[in-house]
Amino acid sequence: MDKLSFDGPIVLAILDGVGLAQDGPGNAVSRARTPFLGEAARKYPRIALDASGEAVGLLPNLMGNSEVGHNTIGSGQIIKQGISHIEEAFATGAVFESDAWKGAILRVTNPNTASVNIDKITTPWYNRNISPATLHFAGIFSDGGVHSHISHLEQMVERAYKEGVRRIRVHAIFDGRDVPPESEPKYIKRFEEFARRFPDADIKIASGGGRMTTVADRYENDWSVVARGWDMMVNGEANYYFHSAEEAIQTLRRIEPNVQDQYLPAFVIVDNEEKPIGKINLGDALIYFDFRADRAIEIAQAFTYWDFPYFSRGDYTPNDVYFVGMTEYNSDTHVPEHRLVEPIHISETLNQFLGAHEISELAISETVKFGHVTYYFNGNSYDKALGEEHIQIDSYIEPFETRPWMKCAEITDKVLENLANYKFIRVNYPGGDMVGHTADIEATIIAMEAIDLSLARIAAETDKLGGALIITADHGNAEELLDKKGNKKTAHTTNKVPFIIYDNTDNRSKYQIANLKKPGLANIASTMAVLLGQSDYPEIWHEPLIKLK
Domain CATH for 299: 3.40.1450.10
- Read off the pLDDT of residues 483-507 as tens digits, 9 standing for 90 and up: 999 999 999 999 999 999 999 999 9
| Three-state DSSP class for residue 173 | strand
pLDDT over threshold 50, residue 77: yes
Domain assignment present for 121: no
Calpha distance 449→516 (Å, rounded): 31
Domain ranges, residue 152 = 84-113+131-325
| 82 pLDDT tier (thresholds 50, 70, 90) | confident
CA 69 to centroid of chain Cα atoms: 10
| % of the chain beyond a pLDDT of 70 | 96
Domain assignment present for 167: yes
Domain assignment present for 153: yes
Calpha distance 525→185 (Å, rounded): 42
My answer on whether 14 and 34 are in the same domain is: yes
Calpha distance 229→171 (Å, rounded): 9
| % of the chain beyond a pLDDT of 90 | 88
- For residue 77, which of 516, 526, 531 has the smallest C-alpha distance? 526
> Domain end: 325, 358, 378, which one?
325
What sign for the dihedral angle of Cα 512, 513, 515, 520?
positive
pLDDT recorded at residue 487: 92
Query: Residues 520, 494: contact at Cβ < 8 Å?
Result: no
With 0-12 CB in 10 A as exposed, 13-18 as middle and 19+ as buried, what is 223?
A: middle
Calpha distance 323→292 (Å, rounded): 16
| Mean pLDDT to the nearest integer, 266-291 | 96
Taking the chain, what is the end-to-end CA distance rounded to the nearest angstrom? Answer: 7
pLDDT recorded at residue 138: 98
pLDDT recorded at residue 35: 98
My answer on whether 388 and 300 are in the same domain is: no
Domain assignment present for 438: yes
pLDDT over threshold 80, residue 289: yes
My answer on whether 449 and 435 are in the same domain is: yes
pLDDT recorded at residue 260: 93
Domain assignment present for 123: no
Domain assignment present for 330: no
My answer on whether 251 and 266 are in the same domain is: yes
> Domain end: 277, 295, 325, which one?
325
- Read off the pLDDT of residues 405-459 as tens digits, 9 standing for 90 and up: 999 999 999 999 999 999 999 999 999 999 999 999 999 999 999 999 999 999 9
Calpha distance 534→518 (Å, rounded): 23
| Mean pLDDT to the nearest integer, 14-23 | 98
Domain assignment present for 47: yes
Calpha distance 170→431 (Å, rounded): 33
Query: Residues 309, 323: contact at Cβ < 8 Å?
Result: no
- Read off the pLDDT of residues 321-348 as tens digits, 9 standing for 90 and up: 999 999 999 877 889 999 999 988 899 9
- Read off the pLDDT of residues 90-130 as tens digits, 9 standing for 90 and up: 999 999 999 999 999 999 987 555 444 333 333 333 333 34
My answer on whether 321 and 360 are in the same domain is: no
My answer on whether 437 and 484 are in the same domain is: yes
| Mean pLDDT to the nearest integer, 128-154 | 86
Helix ranges (DSSP H) in 222-309: 223-230, 245-255, 297-304
All residues at 6 or more sequence positions from 145 whose CB lies less than 8 Å from its CB, including other chains: 58, 59, 62, 63, 82, 83, 178
Q: pTM, whole model, 2 decimals?
A: 0.78
My answer on whether 366 and 401 are in the same domain is: yes
My answer on whether 296 and 379 are in the same domain is: no
Residues tagged active-site: 66
| 18 pLDDT tier (thresholds 50, 70, 90) | very high
Domain assignment present for 404: yes
- Read off the pLDDT of residues 468-483 as tens digits, 9 standing for 90 and up: 999 999 999 999 999 9
Domain count, the chain: 2
Calpha distance 333→79 (Å, rounded): 22
My answer on whether 313 and 388 are in the same domain is: no
Task: Write the CATH number for 76.
Answer: 3.40.720.10
Query: In whole numbers, what is the pLDDT of the chain averaged over residues?
Result: 93
